[in-house]
Each structure stands twice: as C-alpha cells, then as structure tokens.
Amino acid sequence: MYHSLFLLELIIQQVSGQSFATLQPEVHPLMRWESCSSAGCSKQNGSLVLDAEWRWIHEKNSYTTCFEDGHWLEKGYPNKTLCPDDATCTENCVLEGTEYQSMGIWPKNDAVTLKYYNYLDYSMSKGARLFMLRPDGKQYNLFKLLNKEISFEVDVSKLPCGISADVKFVAMDSNGGFNKFQGNTAGAAYGTGYCDASCPRDLRFINGQANVKNWTETPDSPESTVAQYGFGLRGSCCAQLDVFNGNSISSSFGLHPCNFMTPNQHQCIGDGCNPDVSCDAEGCAFNTYRMGNTDFYGPGGKGVDTTKPFTVVTQFPSTSDTDSGVAFLKEMKRFYIQNGTRFPNGRSKIDEVPGNSITGPLCTKQKEVFSDVNDFDKFEGMSMIGEYLAQGMVMAIGIWDDRKTGMAWLDGKLGEGKGALRGTCPDPAANIHDLLNSLEGRRASVSFGKIRVGEIGTTV
C-alpha cells in the first residue's frame, strides 16, 4: 500500500523486529465510552487504533513496499533481498502510521463509522479492525465484563449479504506484545498482537516476527487471477467473545473458548493451528434465524428492524452474582432497544433447543441437535470464558468479509440439515466476488456509538 506523502522525510526507528516508521504520523482518533453504576454513568477517555494487518509495510529507509497483492516481496530496489525468511523480513520491514479517514474510519461525537471499500492513493483497502486504547495510547483497554453488561448503538442498514460488522473481545496482550517479543517496539500503539479462536494464519506479523515461511497466496475469488490474500506457517490463537456479528440480514452472538492451558495469545505452527487442537473456532452462538425465529431480525423485523439504528444490550451474569472470587459465567443474555421499545432476544423455535440466551445446557443441546462438533464443552466454555471476562479482554470493532464461506455461517446456508440455514442470503460461493464488488458492496458501512459498560441494569 502506497501513500501520497512520499516527499516527507522518512523517520525510522532503527531497531530490529516489528518496528515502525513515521512517514505518516500515527494520530489515534478519540473515542470516549461510558462507565456506569447505580450512581449513574461517567465519560471515559479513550482512542482507537487500526490493526497492524491493515497497515502499509515497507522497507526501512525507503518507500519500497514489503507486502503487496497477497505476497511478500523478495526483492527491493536495487535488487535487495527483502523477505526471503521471517527473520530477514522482520529486520528489513516496518509498519507505517495511518491516516484514518483515508481508511474509511470517521469518528464523531463518541461514535465511529467504518466504510468497507476505501480507495487509497495507489491501492484499495477493504474492511478494517480497530482496538480501543487506554488514554495513554500505548495500552489496549481491558474490559472486565463478568457480572456486567455492555450496550451500544449500531446502524447496519448499509450492510448487505456477505459483509459483517462486529464488536468482540479477545484475550490479546494489553500491550500488543510490546517488548514481550524480541524487536516488537510497535506494540498496541500500532495495533499489533491480534489473536482469536480461529487461530488465524493470515496475519503478516505474529509474536513480533514476519509470517513469511510457507506463505501461500489465496485468490481474491474463484474467478480472480490476482492473489490478494494469503496465509503463513504460523497462527495466533486466543479466547474470543463475540458480542455482535451482524449485517442487515442476520446477526449472531457467541462464545469461543480455548484450552485452559493456552487461553491467552499464543502462537501455533502448521497443523497445530487446527482450531480443535487448542481453541473452539465455531463456538456456541445464538442466531435467531438459525434457531427457527426467522422474522425477528432483519429489514422490517418484528423484533429488530435493521433499516433503522438500534441499541444492543448484552449481559454476563455470574453464578454467584458477583464479579470476583469463585464466580463463573452463568449466561450470556441479550435484549435490544429500538424507537424506545425494549425487545428481548428472539426465542428459539426449535423444540429440542429452547431459550433465547446462551447457557451451558443450551450449548450442549444445540451441538447435539445441529450435529456440530462439541469443542465448547470439551474446553469448558462457560467457566473458561467467565475467567477471562473477570480478567479483562480487549475490545475489537470491525467491518469485514469472509472469503472462505462468503459469510454463510452468518446470513446464508452452511452445511445440511437442522441449523444449516442462518439467513436469507443466496449461495455465497457462487457470487461472493460480484457481491462484494457491487454498488451495494462498495457503499457498505456501519456506525457504532454510545458504548457503555457497567453494572447489570445501568447502561440503558
């Protein structure tokens, strides 16, 4: 990715490892949220930082890009080897700062709008992922949600099939691996250290090192001849909590535990990155459409009408009704507010799996009825996630596409039998490229705002 600031002096941090440059000064957009209790809500200062995966990576002391069109560049100018292996690439290449509005990130009045398509000077960017920072701008904010609730307003009216917005929490290092891994001087200030329960291998830097070895380009679409994406030998795993995944068609919330021995951010290698080895990528999720309640959420929905903004409220009551001591997650409970009316989450219409919230019994029964592999119980999902809600997790806000399934797991059909239908979107495998490049796809955006965290019953 290139920028228009080539005439500026390039100032480089002269250290090995995942370091950074200041060709484009990094200025974090302000993003306040509110902390609530029975005494009321108070404003908390914070800011947003773009994930390192959306940043330009270029050679130290030059404008030569290190990664372009889905692959690492082995040769720079003049004929210098840049990325033949992880260590050499890490030594040669740096992360660049971001001009946030050019990436389609528009903060305003304690809210932020994210565009899906963004045209840069010499390239195009799709999607974005942001993390919430503490006021110092050097640490991710750790939100402790056990026996608490979170609420926010969201507008998904401009999100079509195949594109999702999300608010999730992951067990990342609060400093993004700054100085934890040799040479990582970028840290949270430059959005490093991402992980989730799918153990993603498409991250370009993991544990402070470039992910060059065995990098395999993957095409933009089945019809594409230009590789835009890829994955390396290594992946980055950790526990994950999805508060909201959704577009104008369908939505989902869920829990993704990891093995108690390795719940924090950790690197996996090759076959060891298969999610069932250490984390539950599928997790236990509640999608009202998948649960047979097909008219609760969507355009003109009887519960949530996605043509208009609405407020999402998610509660995490503990087994002891406290947030400390011996306390585990009892339930993940959801309700919505729209036009001043409160709507409990739509109830399941599958007789064998009753309820409208995530509980241990519901997850066990859902896996059985839908014939899904039950890694959730294997990793003791409710208690494991409960520990991390008490310990604190990093908030990630994003807009993205899923080239692997075309977002079928959210809004289409995935698999066969009961639970296969998750929404009304057509077969994504046949049209994902056209869909994402359609006028509707190019205009896709989401807005989040009025984020509040506090005691149960105090944020709305």
- From residue 421, give the alpha-carbon distance in Å to each of 160, 366, 426: 17, 14, 11
Count the residues in the chain: 460
- Residue 361, token pair as written in the block: 């019994």
CATH of domain 28-51+105-455: 2.70.100.10
Can you give the pLDDT of all 460 residues of the chain as single tens digits? 333 333 233 333 334 457 888 789 999 999 999 999 999 999 999 999 999 999 999 998 888 899 987 889 876 655 667 899 999 999 999 999 999 998 999 999 899 999 998 876 556 678 999 999 999 999 999 999 999 999 999 999 999 998 999 999 999 999 998 877 766 788 999 999 999 999 999 999 999 999 999 999 876 544 444 445 789 999 999 999 999 999 999 999 999 999 877 668 999 999 888 766 789 999 999 999 999 999 999 999 999 999 999 999 999 999 988 876 667 899 999 999 999 999 999 999 999 999 999 999 999 999 999 999 999 999 999 999 999 999 999 999 999 988 778 899 999 999 999 999 999 998 754 556 677 677 788 899 999 999 999 999 999 9
Angle formed by the axes of helices 381-391 and 360-369, nearest 10°: 130
Beta bridge partners of 397: 130, 167
In 3D space, the residue among 185, 182, 180, 193 whose CA is nearest the CA of residue 131 turns out to be 193
Query: Which residues contact residue 209 at a Cβ distance below 8 angstroms, ignoring those fewer than 6 apart?
Result: 17, 18, 86, 87, 90, 181, 183
Neighbours of 171 (CB within 10 A): 25
Domain range annotation of the chain: 28-51+105-455
The rounded distance, in Å, linking the Cα atoms of 350 and 145 is: 30
